Copies of this chain bind each other. A is one copy, B any other.
Amino acid sequence: MKVEIVAVGTELLLGQIVDTNSSWMGAELAAAGLDSHFQTKVGDNPARIEAVLRQALDRSDAVICCGGLGPTQDDLTREVIAEVMGVDLVLDEAIEARIRDMFGSRGRTMPENNLRQAMVPVGASPIPQQPGTAPGLVCPVGDKVIYAVPGVPYEMKEMVTGTIVDDLRRRAGEQGVIASRVLRTWGMSESGLAEVLADRITELDDGGDATLAFLASGVEGLKVRITAKGVDQDDVVAKLDAEEAVIRPLLGDIVFGLDDDTIESVVLGRLRELGLTLAVAESVTGGYMAGRICAVPGASRVFRGGVVAYTPEMKRSVLGVPDGPVVNDDAALAMAEGVRRVTGADVGLATTGVAGPDSLEGQKPGTVYVGLSLPEGYESGSQLFRMPGDRERVRQFTTISLMNLLRQRLG
């Protein structure tokens, strides 16, 4: 079953918007065991959209066409698909009613333009999920199919996961279901992970119930994805559980979470269980770590706040760091203790170091000290990390490394 993706929109060709939709769909198709050999971007031009769709149908079994379903004259996907199917567009009254309701519920009248969105090629059927005004469409063309989905990412995603992937797998004659589970890790390099899991991957290649893949994702951690097929949901979950049980002992304590967990959400959850509050003192990360923590919904139940102490003077006056160098073990710990004192939090974290491009206090860019000040019964202290890369990577790696260290010390 070969599936091809076509993204429609002149703004994509002009680079005004990066086409992340196709990348996301490519990952979903791969996880579902569906082949995808081509992804094409084409502008809002009917002849060129039609040529691309015809070619895609020619060399693949199914096409997902993303974008061009809005209410304006620039939104041409419906018309072009009807042309490719060799049919007319007709008004779908159920869709019209749904769109009118959406406007009505916000106290507004539907502009007549939006009626265009209720036009459907004869023989096509709407996709049940419709989070916005644009309906998705399943459009059969002979024994092949074009799926039309809007370019708004969350609308497209709901349709792909809610309808399209299952429909494709059914067409491919796949009886069962497929599912993935991501183990989020920190503390081992990608090549280190590959080495630790090499034997297991070989076993699985020789005929196993699951496959494994890695993906380095910056502050989101290094992801290990388990994918399995099964006859039904229970079966596939059992297979994911079984594989997780095999690799967890190989990975050890580097696994900090599953699927959509982030290091911040995991650590905030653990602190909440323990009834502890958190504060951060940042120099090299300059507010980035606090920003990540505050992005977790409900952070305010645990996070008290932080101090960005960007100058040596502020490290001394606000956080009570003693005179002397400010990029070392002692300064990191003093900052962590200081921010606990200032905020009254139970746990204080601190970062100090050299983001680059210049050296500081004779230390090279990428040199980072982190400090942890914890309540009695937990291990306080500081630690040196040497980070590779640029300013952005230094602050991402510092944040996840320090939060992971806290996770390990909280037990």
Contact = CB atoms under 8 A, between A and B. Distances in A.
Contacts of A30: 13-15
B13 A37 contact: yes
Interface stretch (A76-84, A128-136, A159-167, A312-320): A312-320
Given A40-B38, A40-B40, A41-B38, A306 B318 contact: no
A18 interface: yes
A111 interface: no
B307 A313 contact: no
A313 B344 contact: yes
A342 interface: yes
A57 interface: no
A287 interface: yes
Given A38-B52, A215-B16, A311 B318 contact: no
Contacts of A282: 287, 290
Contact of A289 (B28, B215, B287, B318): B287
Nearest to A45: B37
A310 to B, nearest CB: 4
Nearest to A288: B291
A380 interface: no
Nearest to A25: B15
B26 A14 contact: yes
B305 A311 contact: yes
A389 to B, nearest CB: 13
Interface string A13-44: 11111111011111110100000111111110
A357 interface: yes
A310 B318 contact: no
Contacts of A291: 285-288, 291, 395
Given A15-B30, A18-B18, A307-B307, 10 more contacts: A15-B22, A18-B20, A22-B41, A38-B42, A282-B287, A286-B295, A286-B299, A287-B308, A305-B309, A306-B310
